[in-house]
Chains A and B, each alone.
Chain A
Amino acid sequence: MGKGIFVVSVPSQGTIRKVAFEILSEARKIADAKAEPLCAVIIGKGVAGLADKFAPYGADKVYVVENDLLEDYTADGYTKALADLITKEVPSIVLAGATGTGKDLMPKVAARIGAAMAADCTAIGVDGDAFTVTRYMYSGKMIADVNFQNAAVAIATVRPNVLIAAAPDASKTAEIVNVAAEVSADDIRVKVLEVVKGDAGKVDLTEAEIIVSGGRGMKDADGYSILEDLANVLGATVGASRAAVDAGWRPVSDQVGQTGKVVSPNLYIACGISGAIQHYAGMGTSKVIVAINKDEEAPILSKCDYAVVDDLFKIIPPLTEAIKKLKED
């Protein structure tokens, strides 16, 4: 067995983000192909209780990296903890979710240890000895195949919701390795003063299975109430186009597109969104795209899977009712 494939997870409020399971499931194939152990790495304070969550998705080994100073996520503290582990164990590749935390942490870790890094990948594989990844560039307008070269350690972050988590196998077990991270108070230069929670029950757009998104056609902030109703029935998260955010109808954190969030749900329902190249760049990889728009010329109508050419205010309420009925049957 060689050096190891690491899959890093930073739990958020005591839960493991599902992207970790998506990556583990895919990385299992790479570990088998390269005959290297697949290792989950979980970092934090008091996270040992989560260690048994990884074996069902294929982890051979779980590193539980803990220190009381890792209670809050800080790039300073977590970089020290993770970089030390990588330096000691020298895995061949380190994978993590391209979540807000993954994007903040992994480039700093890469710079500290001199690793090569590719961010926000949508596929990972091997070509001979070398790792390869696929990632979008130019905000979804181009797909790039990327090879790792001349680096002892490769790092890649993976876009949530793209790889498919395998069905967990509860009979599997993994070796648990407890690591006391050597982090001192001097290592952490930043202070987390406060965490302000938004809508606690809301699934983040980047992890949502279904997104109901509204654009200029919603007419005003109140127009979104019918989208909220549809989203409730579907268990979906509501998104918005740039036009709607710039008009002040929705918060910036709801924006999908080139200058907002890049999302990849199973189902994306675009309501009153024309589908400019910048918006499409943020949702073009959705598995099924539905467009509801009364403007026959709207570009989105030719770039979707299902199109309804009609007034969204007349379509969405009965659509919500129809779906509610289907779900009840």
Chain B
Amino acid sequence: MNSIVCLKQVPDTEAQIIATSDGSDVKLDGVKFIISPYDEYGIEEALLQKEKAGGGEVTLVSMGPARVVESIRTGLAMGADKAVHLDDEAFNGSDAQAAAKALAAQLKGMEYDIIYCGRQAIDDDQSQVGPALAELLGLTHTSVVTKVEVADDKKSVKVNRQIVGGEEIMELPLPCVLTCQKGLNEPRYASLPGIMKAKKKPLQAVKAADIGVDVGTVGVAGSGTRVVKFTAPPTRTSAKIIDGESPEEKAANLAKALREEAKAI
């Protein structure tokens, strides 16, 4: 089983995100970065399927600035075999569709049975790259996958995915793209020996020209959408404290406030 995992480095879930004073960007100085949590499920699943098949390679592919290398090394320390880093200023500012184009250019010609992506990256929250990447590679896909069973002949995969009010079981031919949802597995932590080994694993840096990408089709120039302004969401500052002599009275006062004041029930 050869798998590719698309990995995005994102600000930690704990991070406070602040806009610059002119609202043109966000301040990420001093922010801790992590592998997007849904991508971690992808890494874990690729490793589990490789172990189950008794062979193959897990390759990480990530796009972004130099700091991304730290997250790639974390993925390698979890057990991935090698990695490719799309490291070119031309990629900066790519929107989701443009990012999918860059990744597709890299993946074309690589060997894989399954490409794993997270269901979404928790910074841009677009949920676009997996389905778009599949389309650009001429593959089929499915999203929000919670279970993966590769057929014995390695020609197809049976997956469970979340749908409204339940789940759906689907069969896809290999190769295909799967986007990973929480519940798929429990990502392992990198072990100390894993961290030591990761330092020696192959990590290839790739420029746009290396993969035949016309720089006009990626980055800001190649993106059909552009964020023109960031603002902080409105915050609630003055909660009304519901008081009462007893819990019963507080409950009654809350019900009354929701009915008469907030008109919410």
Contact = CB atoms under 8 A, between A and B. Distances in A.
Interface in B103-160: 122-136, 140-144, 146, 158
Interface residues of B, number: 83
Contact of B241 (A255, A307, A323): A307
B236 A304 contact: yes
B205 interface: no
B183 to A, nearest CB: 4
B59 to A, nearest CB: 22
Contacts of B237: 302
B38 to A, nearest CB: 8
Interface string A136-172: 1111111111111111001000000000000000000
Interface stretch (A50-58, A61-69, A287-295): A287-295
A112 B172 contact: no
Contacts of B233: 136, 140-143, 284-285
A100 to B, nearest CB: 6
A277 B26 CA distance: 17
Interface in B87-109: 95-97, 100
B30 interface: no
A290 B261 CA distance: 13
Nearest to A203: B165
Given A190-B170, A303-B239, A139 B122 contact: yes
Contacts of B259: 323, 326
B170 A192 contact: yes
Contacts of A94: none
B13 to A, nearest CB: 5
Q: Which of B143, B146, B225, B265 has the most CB of A within 10 A?
A: B225
Nearest to B10: A138
B19 interface: yes
Interface in A300-317: 301-311, 314-317
For the complex of A and B, list the 10 residue pairs with the smallest distance between their C-beta atoms, beginning with the closest. A116-B224, A107-B128, A322-B255, A151-B224, A314-B247, A111-B135, A318-B251, A111-B132, A319-B251, A198-B166
B21 to A, nearest CB: 14
A232 interface: no
B169 A193 contact: yes
Contacts of B232: 141-143
Q: Could you tell me the dominant secondary structure of chain B's interface residues?
A: mixed
Interface string A92-104: 0000000111011
A97 to B, nearest CB: 11
B227 to A, nearest CB: 5
A135 B129 CA distance: 17
> What bracket does the count of chain A residues touching chain B fall in?
35 or more
The A interface, classified by DSSP as helix, strand, loop or mixed, is mixed
Nearest to A192: B170
Contacts of A255: 182
Interface of A: 12, 75-76, 79, 99-101, 103-105, 107-108, 110-112, 115-120, 135-151, 154, 189-200, 202, 204, 210, 234, 252-253, 255, 258-260, 262, 266-267, 277-278, 284-285, 287-291, 301-311, 314-319, 321-323, 326-327
A284 B13 CA distance: 15
B265 A306 contact: no
16 contacts: A79-B135, A100-B143, A107-B128, A116-B223, A138-B26, A190-B140, A195-B166, A195-B169, A258-B13, A278-B14, A305-B236, A306-B240, A311-B247, A316-B251, A318-B247, A327-B265
B239 A319 contact: no
Contacts of A197: 165-166
Nearest to B257: A306
B236 A75 contact: no
B248 interface: yes
Contact of B96 (A75, A119, A149, A193): A119
B239 A306 contact: yes
Nearest to B255: A322
Contacts of B224: 115-117, 148-151, 154
Contacts of B146: 252
Contacts of B191: none
Contacts of A118: 126, 225
Contacts of A149: 223-226
Contacts of A150: 224
A306 B228 contact: no
A282 B170 CA distance: 29
B240 A305 contact: yes
Contact of B163 (A100, A193, A289, A305): A100
Interface string B222-265: 01111111111101110111100001101110111111001011
Given A100-B144, A115-B224, A195-B166, A142 B258 contact: no
Nearest to B181: A252
B219 interface: no
Contacts of B131: 75, 104-105, 107-108, 111
Nearest to B119: A103
B151 to A, nearest CB: 12
A145 B228 contact: yes
A105 to B, nearest CB: 8
A323 B262 CA distance: 14
